[in-house]
């Protein structure tokens, strides 16, 4: 829409009502484009940029061609599989797999270890809450003492936990040994991911591959393990 000065009526500006922007004043001496030739755009916009809506209020992202293609999972699978094969070749799979029979055949000890780790970690986090730490005697020392106390006390609940799992685990097809094996497998894989793998996501490819070897080896060890007679 042209804007004219008052009272001379001179054309001083142009305003786009859709985009709420002031545009350049058209040159009256410029040649008008013919019907066969499209008018040249006044402003250029790079592909994949922002495009204003007709109301001019909320910008929406403009999709870049080829950007929304389906992601391929072949490369990540090959990345992990090669790391697992390397771990198998150097004996890391067998070393990690040695812990699985202990969890399978000694359910009480395995569940006691899981309870000790879970109790110590939960106590540490609970006593670190801002509303609790101010009333905790001894500060950080008291927090450490309480967490260590939970680590030593929690395994005492393992025998009762085994009885409960044997009693109610049959409903899902798992006894205490099966649940202990699943818990130990999940704890090994999850612990290796939390301690090693996730910390090297922003590293170069070779470093990430080496960091993936322990986790991939643990996954291979769990997949190859066959529970024997109990």
Q: Per the structure block, which two tokens stand in for 218?
A: 């643990």
- Predicted local confidence at residue 183, as pLDDT: 77
Cα distance between residue 127 and residue 104, in whole Å: 33
Tokens 């939390």 found at: 194
- Please write the tens of the pLDDT for every residue from 213-226: 999 999 999 998 87
Cα distance between residue 114 and residue 202, in whole Å: 31
- Predicted local confidence at residue 68, as pLDDT: 42
Cα distance between residue 176 and residue 13, in whole Å: 81
- Predicted local confidence at residue 90, as pLDDT: 93
- Predicted local confidence at residue 67, as pLDDT: 46
Cα distance between residue 93 and residue 85, in whole Å: 9
Cα distance between residue 164 and residue 58, in whole Å: 58
- Predicted local confidence at residue 55, as pLDDT: 52
DSSP 8-state symbol, 88: H
Mean pLDDT, consecutive 10-residue stretches, the chain (230 aa), reads 75 75 66 52 49 51 49 85 93 88 75 83 84 74 87 85 72 71 83 89 92 93 74
Q: What's the CA dihedral at 109, 114, 120, 125 to 10 degrees?
A: -170
Spatial neighbors of 66 by CB under 8 A, at least 6 apart, are none
- SS3 state of residue 170: helix
- Please write the tens of the pLDDT for every residue from 118-137: 888 888 888 877 777 677 77
């Amino acid at each position: 829409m042209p804007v004219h000065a008052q009272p001379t009526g001179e054309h001083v500006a142009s305003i786009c009502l859709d985009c709420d922007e002031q545009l350049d004043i058209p040159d009256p001496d410029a040649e008008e484009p013919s019907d066969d030739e499209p008018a040249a755009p006044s402003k250029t916009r790079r592909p994949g940029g922002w495009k204003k809506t007709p109301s001019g209020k909320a910008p929406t992202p403009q999709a870049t061609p080829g950007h929304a293609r389906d992601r391929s999972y072949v490369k990540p699978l090959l990345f992990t599989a090669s790391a697992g094969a390397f771990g198998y070749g150097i004996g890391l799979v067998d070393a990690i797999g040695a812990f699985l029979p202990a969890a399978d055949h000694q359910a009480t000890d395995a569940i006691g270890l899981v309870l000790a780790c879970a109790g110590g970690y939960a106590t540490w986090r609970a006593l670190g809450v801002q509303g609790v730490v101010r009333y905790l005697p001894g500060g950080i020392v008291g927090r450490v003492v309480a967490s260590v106390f939970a680590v030593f006390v929690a395994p005492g609940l393992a025998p009762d936990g085994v009885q409960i799992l044997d009693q109610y685990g049959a409903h899902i097809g798992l006894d205490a040994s099966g649940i202990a094996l699943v818990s130990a497998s999940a704890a090994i894989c999850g612990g290796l991911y939390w301690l090693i793998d996730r910390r090297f996501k922003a590293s170069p490819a070779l470093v990430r591959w080496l960091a993936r070897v322990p986790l991939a080896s643990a996954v291979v060890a769990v997949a190859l393990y066959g529970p024997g007679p109990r």
